[in-house]
Amino acid sequence: MSSQNGSTLINPQTGNLAFKILPFEDNIHFDHLQRNNYYSLIWVTKGKGKVKADFSEHHFEENSLLAFSPYQPFMLCVSEPIEGIAIHFHPDFYCIHMHQKEVSCNGVLFNNIYQPPYVKVTEQAASTFNMVIDQMKAEIQNAELAQYELLISYLKIFLITASRLKTEQLEEMSSIPDAKEPLILQNLKDAIELILKLNIQQEIMLIY
């Protein structure tokens, strides 16, 4: 189904990138605005900086896994040199929307405008990620029977592990009494409260 080149699989029918593993030792790949036609998982193992995604900015540190959907605009601005590994995959290779019941990452890792586009990677999760990436690297060089299916299986493990991790971290944040509400929801809430106050004031003036 796909031709291969190093750690990259290309769909010969469309010419699109199907699947890619990209180790990086600097920010050259992400220091300009990205609008890719594939999903991106960027695991920053060293360094820190700021990620600009959509219309927001968030700070990230080492051992952060950033996740971006196709055509989502983003770029990284680093304050310390970064290193890590990225996994790119096209929706034709694996579409999270069509397989939401299998991995449950849509709205958690991807397409969640209310939360930062990353998850903090724990030591246990890092061990799982490293193991899965090693298996992916080996399989992408092995154009044997069911290569496509095996790569998708490894990708599912990666996505499920990351989704579980982010869900746990979001639950911990929501249990903090002073946890900040998403900005859009907070603005909406403030606007509603202001309207209610104005209506109450008008009613009082009419009474008197």
- CATH number for 168: 2.60.120.280
Identify whether residues 11 and 89 lie together within a single domain: yes
Q: pLDDT at position 143, please?
A: 73
Q: How does residue 102 score in pLDDT terms, banded at 50, 70 and 90?
A: low
* Residues 123 and 27 occupy one common structural domain: yes
CA gap 190, 172 in Å, rounded: 25
The answer to whether 126 touches 63, Cβ cutoff 8 Å, is yes
> In which domain, by residue range, is 146 found?
3-176
62 in the same domain as 113: yes
| Whether residue 169 sits in one domain with residue 118 | yes
| Per-residue model confidence as pLDDT tens digits over 64-78 | 999 999 999 999 999
What tens digit of pLDDT does each residue of 114-161 get? 788 899 999 999 999 999 999 999 998 877 767 889 999 999 999 999
- For the chain, helix, strand, coil in percent to 5 are 35, 30, 35
- Let me know whether 188 and 100 are in one domain: no
pLDDT for the residue numbered 69 = 93
pLDDT value for 4? 53
172 and 187 housed in the same domain: no
- Portion of the chain with pLDDT greater than 70, in percent: 75
Answer whether residue 178 shows pLDDT above 50: no
* pLDDT tens sequence across 157-176: 999 999 999 999 888 766 54
Percent of the chain topping pLDDT 90: 54
- Does one domain contain both 144 and 185? no
Is 154 found in the same domain as 191?
Answer: no
Please, which residues have CB within 8 angstroms of residue 20's CB and are 6 or more apart in sequence?
7, 8, 9, 86, 87, 88, 89
- 92 and 40 within one domain: yes
Domains in the chain, number: 2
Q: How far apart are CA 146 and CA 152, in angstroms?
A: 10
User: What does pTM read for this prediction?
Assistant: 0.79
Arithmetic mean of pLDDT, 191-197: 56
